[in-house]
Structure 1
Amino acid sequence: MTHDHDLVLRPTQAQITAALNPPPGRNGGDLVVETLAGLGATTVFGLPGQHALGMFDALRRSSLRYVGLRVENNAGFAADAYGRITGEAAPLLLSTGPGALTSLAALQEAAAASAPVLAIGSQIPVAGLGGARKGYLHELPDQAASFRGVVKSVHTVRSQSQIPSAIAAAWKSALTAPHGPVWVEIPQDVLLAETSLPVVTAPDATPDDLPPRPELTALAAHLLSHAERPAILAGGGVVRSDASGKLRLLAERLNAPVATTFGGKGAFPWNHPLSLQSWLEDRHTTDFLQDADVLLVVGSGLGELSSNYHTFAPRGRVIQIEADLGKLESNHPAVGIHADARLALQALLETVEDRPDTTARERVRELLARVAARIDAQDRTLERNVLSAVRQALPADSPSFWDMTILAYWAWSAFDAQGPNLMHSAQGAGGLGYGFPAALGAAAADPTRPVLAVSGDGGALYSIAELATAKQYDLPVTWLIIDDGGYGILREYMTDAFGKPTATELHRPDYVALAESFGVTGVRTTPETLREDLTRALNTPGPSVVVLPAVLRMFAPTHLG
């Protein structure tokens, strides 16, 4: 009896000949790049360093395109965005010690947002591993330990024959739901040593499916089909699993209103009659969701932002579909379904009954009217006009990447992404400096459409060096910098909490002149001319910077009762 998994493809004569006669001049780094190419990678990000030079030397003998950034953390943000846009694992090549550690904040964001990043770092020579302290440059007692609490999985290599399997296992881990960053480390001498191993061709790294358990989807379908007031909260997992179409079909079949989390922006059409949009920092929306007798939460862990700062207290049954087992029922009791969002929504579509409801759309209209009235009463004309100008200037199919800045906080709630996988921000981990380098990664993934980055002046200072990257690779990214002279969000927080801000005011450069010093077009704009200036910049090939001097304010807290 022969089992399918016992079948092994017999190599062709050409493959045998190639394996017996590998080309000369290859090293361990060639095994890295050959494995990546065999897995389907086309672009790698990174920054060279002493111990990693074997990998970088091998790049010139490969078909892989290299996009080099100026700071490892920014290279990680670029790889994060490339992974989000393409759905592929984005290789990130790093050096040992300081180079590796500088990437950690970016990898934390990738982990929080389930972005597939394949980080490959070098290590000190094998002789220095295992506890012996040899005094090598960049040496850490246990480098991998710095990554274990951040990434999905850690893979260590100690010989050249381990390289293809370790990278393939990491690739599979990164792309198995939930997607996320992974870490591979390879010693310097393993990368540099000449190799006689055959050229790596097609390693198998097919991600595992994560289907739902059928008894759980049967129960969930019954609860939803017979609910009086069902509602859906859709998170980033819907976007990551490309399940927006299935979400819409399910919502229409159930006549269930849908709100999206900030990570799930665009997962449901903004102007659909069942769309509650994404006003999650609003008490009216929170009340609506917790009043549902059956609430389907799909692709969200119901964390701090998605639960309106943990004020959300559901009164009905909660069904939670979540690929990250650690997030399942971590905040609220639920019918917990550990599954990929796409597969679980498909199972529900095959099981739920059509649910007539003549009131759902009217309830949606009433809620949105209450939200609008609340915002209208807050005198935030400047902020709303600026956000509207950005939306009007940005082409409908162009992605945008938002740093942690006041306009991004507005955009989380009020911006129509106009489609799934088009609006991205650093709200997963909440670090500064995400917007511009992430936009560069997205432009590397698809240079046929302009990409928008939005930062405050505080966040912009994290990423200034990447103007050189934008110019070097001629990437079509327009960088909108809102210059308010400091860390605007922290200024508001401290003023509200303590009556006076501390450590929030910044001396900053002339951003237009600075951009021009890199050979990047810069323009200073006003709220009145923003739409025109941003439209022109986005329609002009190559990188550009648009600076808006303005002090924006948040809308008043609406998570209080």
Structure 2
Amino acid sequence: MSTGTAQAPRTGGDLVTESLTALGATTVFGLPGQHALAAFDALRRSPLEYVGLRVENNAGFAADAYARVTGGPAPLLVSTGPGALMTLAALQEAAAASAPVLGISSQIPTAGLGGGRHGYLHELTDQKASFRDIVKSVHTVRTASQIPSAIAEAWASALEAPHGPVWIEIPQDVLLAPTTAPPIESLAATPRPLTPRPELVTEAVRLLDSAERPAILAGGGTVRAGAQAELLALAEKLDAPVATTFGGKGAFPWDHRLSLQSWLEDRHTTDFLEDADVLLVVGSGLGELSSNYHTFRPRGRVIQIEADLGKLESNVPALGIHADARLTLAVLAEQATPRTRPEAAEAASALLVRVRQRLAAQDLKQEQQLLTAVRDALPDTSPSFWDMTMLAYWAWSAFDPREGAMHSAQGAGGLGYGFPAALGAAVADRTKPVLAVSGDGGAMYSIAELATARQYDLPVTWLIVDDGGYGILREYMTDAFGTATGTELARPDFVALAESFGVPAVRTSPERLGEDLAAALAAPGPSVVVLPAVLRLFAPTHATP
């Protein structure tokens, strides 16, 4: 009598994991649920690393950050109905930031799809309808043989410029059913390159060559396309000053002689960009924040390079070039005529002096000192992830990401992004510490993920700025209505709470922040630093009469 254990039959779930592996995936984020159990069982037999978070939305944020850091699709595996719907806010952020998240959910059995039997657990009348307005493409599988092609098609869709999240749903019975298909060895999913049209390149070169005061505004699309070297080459060839949007931080060296940095909410910067006789906008739709709340009125010609067709000329008339930022900047840098304009660097330097003078006229030393302390404590190559909190609003304008990268939730603007996103980045690269920054209100969205940080021993330091409520909303409401409503919060002892998860924590002060944060970042594994402080924003600026 044999004492061996019979090998489990391969199922539709195995086709999912084999397809992901064949496409190059190494990690899957998610949270199991009843209809998806066959896919999770297949994960056990696969070479894929599974990282489970405690809330599906946080798993989506972790996948978003993993995709941003690696540049490749990040699989996100969840269950039907409530599990799937919990990912929507994270997918909205991924869509706004063009992060290629590969969402995969189970579905009710095929007998219930399309108006069949009703009464299944987690059943939605039309689950995929909830995702169509958010993701780039939706793919529904009805048989096991469709799984590899559907996943490959979704993978290519996620990677085509502009990158973005996609959604695949697979019925429970398809995931459970044994399959006789041979193991998957390879899959092709090559995205189509988005190259610029030659006549548009020729016209853009003509405009740039004839410009007397050219300037460049680089958005998040520049970073996502990996076009930093091409941007630098073109800016130096044209001797054109460069500003970066909040999402485009890191696209251009912060202390370069041509850098205007990221002070887009400062009217001095808006005036400078408006005064350019040719403004090259790369990877930005010139939305609310990048246009200083739609007060930006360019007086010269605008050239806009944008991979998202819906954003092309959507806010400002321009020579619109629907193309990948890196491919287009490379050809512009090759064809543009070199020039020397010493006044360009002088103008950039003078602008930054005016910005600093305006800040110096306000009583904001503590806020600037805190941001400096964070910058000094964070290793140059470490990424940081910022929630929608007061210190992040400062960081959008004033933080130099150096060789690391600064990521925030300003694309969609939801709370709870910072800490789970930092966990996803740490999974992608465990060799360097990662910083997460939240307010006490936003931190409460992610407290459960302290267990995830401890379980996987991830090198993430979480800075929680505790001001007793939703600080930015408190300031907005007080300014608008004279008083704030619904902004004050009871909250836990964050230090004791972190320690209850087995995560070291310390309560710091503005004077000790740099020292305590540096020590936490240098220690292995996760840590929490709590800073009780009430911060203020710098005063907004308006268009000059």
Bin of the TM-score, shorter chain as denominator length: over 0.9
Q: How does 1:28-47 map to 2 (within 5 A)?
A: 28-47=12-31
Q: How does 1:114-513 map to 2 (within 5 A)?
A: 114-419=98-403, 422-513=405-496
Matched-pair identity in %: 76
Q: Aligned partners of 2:541, 2:392: CA distance in 1, in Å?
A: 17
How far did 1:86 drift?
A: 0.3
Q: Aligned partners of 2:510, 2:408: CA distance in 1, in Å?
A: 22
Q: Aligned partners of 1:138, 1:560: CA distance in 2, in Å?
A: 52
- Number of residue pairs matched? 538
Q: Secondary structure at the match of 2:222?
A: helix
Whether the 8 Å contact between 1:458 and 1:506 is mirrored in structure 2 is yes
- CA RMSD across the alignment: 0.8
- 1:156-176, CA deviations, whole angstroms, 9 ceiling, x for partnerless residues? 100000000000000000011
Q: Secondary structure at the match of 1:73?
A: helix
Q: Aligned partners of 2:117, 2:493: CA distance in 1, in Å?
A: 47
How far did 1:366 drift?
A: 0.9
Q: Secondary structure at the match of 2:342?
A: coil
Q: Aligned partners of 2:122, 2:465: CA distance in 1, in Å?
A: 37
**AA in 1 matched with 2:195:** P
How far did 1:24 drift?
A: 5.5
Q: How does 1:54-65 map to 2 (within 5 A)?
A: 54-65=38-49
Whether the 8 Å contact between 1:91 and 1:119 is mirrored in structure 2 is yes
Whether the 8 Å contact between 1:268 and 1:275 is mirrored in structure 2 is yes
How far did 1:225 drift?
A: 1.2
How far did 1:358 drift?
A: 2.3
How far did 1:355 drift?
A: 2.2
Would you identify which runs of 4 or more consecutive aligned residues in structure 1 move more than 3 Å? none
**AA in 2 matched with 1:269:** P
TM-score (norm 2): 0.98
Alpha carbons of 1:24 and 1:468: their partners in 2 closer, same or farther (altered >3 Å)? closer
Structure 1, unpaired ranges of 5+: 1-22
Q: Aligned partners of 2:165, 2:542: CA distance in 1, in Å?
A: 32
Q: Aligned partners of 2:285, 2:113: CA distance in 1, in Å?
A: 38
How far did 1:25 drift?
A: 1.2
- 1:379-412, CA deviations, whole angstroms, 9 ceiling, x for partnerless residues? 1011001000000000000000000000000000
Q: Which residue of 1 aligns with 2:500?
A: 517
Q: Aligned partners of 1:118, 1:455: CA distance in 2, in Å?
A: 26
Q: Secondary structure at the match of 1:152?
A: coil
How far did 1:356 drift?
A: 2.3
How far did 1:461 drift?
A: 0.2
**AA in 2 matched with 1:45:** F
How far did 1:133 drift?
A: 4.9
Whether the 8 Å contact between 1:457 and 1:486 is mirrored in structure 2 is yes
How far did 1:211 drift?
A: 0.4
Whether the 8 Å contact between 1:283 and 1:560 is mirrored in structure 2 is yes
**AA in 1 matched with 2:398:** A
Structure 2, unpaired ranges of 5+: 1-6
Q: Aligned partners of 1:559, 1:187: CA distance in 2, in Å?
A: 54
Q: Aligned partners of 1:101, 1:221: CA distance in 2, in Å?
A: 47
Whether the 8 Å contact between 1:133 and 1:141 is mirrored in structure 2 is no
Whether the 8 Å contact between 1:226 and 1:355 is mirrored in structure 2 is no
Whether the 8 Å contact between 2:111 and 2:117 is mirrored in structure 1 is no
Q: Which residue of 1 aligns with 2:76?
A: 92
Whether the 8 Å contact between 1:309 and 1:559 is mirrored in structure 2 is no
Q: Which residue of 1 aligns with 2:539?
A: 556
Whether the 8 Å contact between 1:262 and 1:306 is mirrored in structure 2 is yes
